[in-house]
Amino acid sequence: MIDLYYWTTPNGHKITLFLEEAGLPYNVHPINISENEQFAPDFLKISPNNRIPAIVDPSPDDGSGPLSLFESGAILLYLAEKTGLFLPTDLRGRQEALQWLFWQMGGLGPMAGQNHHFNRFAPEKIPYAIKRYVDETARLYGVLDRRLADRPFVAGDEYSIADMAIYPWTVSHEWQNQDLADFPSVQRWFNAIKARPATVRAYEWVAKINPPKP
């Protein structure tokens, strides 16, 4: 059974999306980042960057003992290769999925993360920073919208780890000052992923371990 070190944030949701879709059994170890649990020495042994998510696979295919992994993109790729699921196997399809996975890891994730910070959490409002990250998030949503204009999912016809990486960052579009009505193809794709039973199960962890405060 996979051990998942997790909190209910976009990068955390990526991994529960995969595990629920694949039907892989997993144990959740909540790491409450609001309580600084990501800095606990035991957690740092498996996640040296003191960030969630991380996993430990007790029985990887090489038979050489437990394997721990951090970085959500690396975890998604590992799980896809372990299971043979959600990553095309033909050369071009695989590269389509991987380039959009890396687009999320290097672009949408960091930029939307800064957007959240300056819009929601920064102790002072800095208009230059807010505009910079809202504009960049809008540009990236535009890129995604064009990509999805003529295919159901980012890598083509099939749902893949690229969609699982991107979707959780679009769930918080309101925090990012983005209106999905401006991005009709993203809106269609978003609704389709939101309705998947595995997505519903993945997001049930919010109510279980970090319910909204009254």
Ligand X SMILES: N[C@@H](CCC(=O)N[C@@H](CS)C(=O)NCC(=O)O)C(=O)O
Instruction: Considering only residues 142 through 201, tell me which ones interact with ligand X, judged by CB under 6 A.
Output: none
Structure tokens at 41: 């020495």
Q: Give yes or no for residue 51 binding ligand X (CB under 6 A).
A: yes
Asked if residues 152 and 146 have their Cβ atoms less than 8 Å apart, the reply is: no
Q: Which is nearer to ligand X, 32 or 191 (CB)?
A: 32
Please report how close the Cβ of residue 87 comes to ligand X at its closest, in angstroms. 17
Number of residues located near ligand X, criterion CB under 6 A: 11
Instruction: Considering only residues 53 through 92, tell me which ones interact with ligand X, judged by CB under 6 A.
Output: 53, 71-72
User: Can you list the alpha helix ranges (DSSP code H) found in the chain?
Assistant: 10-22, 41-46, 72-83, 91-103, 109-116, 127-148, 161-171, 184-194, 197-209
Instruction: Considering only residues 16 through 45, tell me which ones interact with ligand X, judged by CB under 6 A.
Output: 33, 38
Asked if residues 202 and 16 have their Cβ atoms less than 8 Å apart, the reply is: yes
Please report how close the Cβ of residue 73 comes to ligand X at its closest, in angstroms. 6
Distance CA(145)–CA(214), nearest Å, equals 35
Q: Give yes or no for residue 10 binding ligand X (CB under 6 A).
A: yes
Binding site for ligand X (CB under 6 A): 9-11, 33, 38, 50-53, 71-72
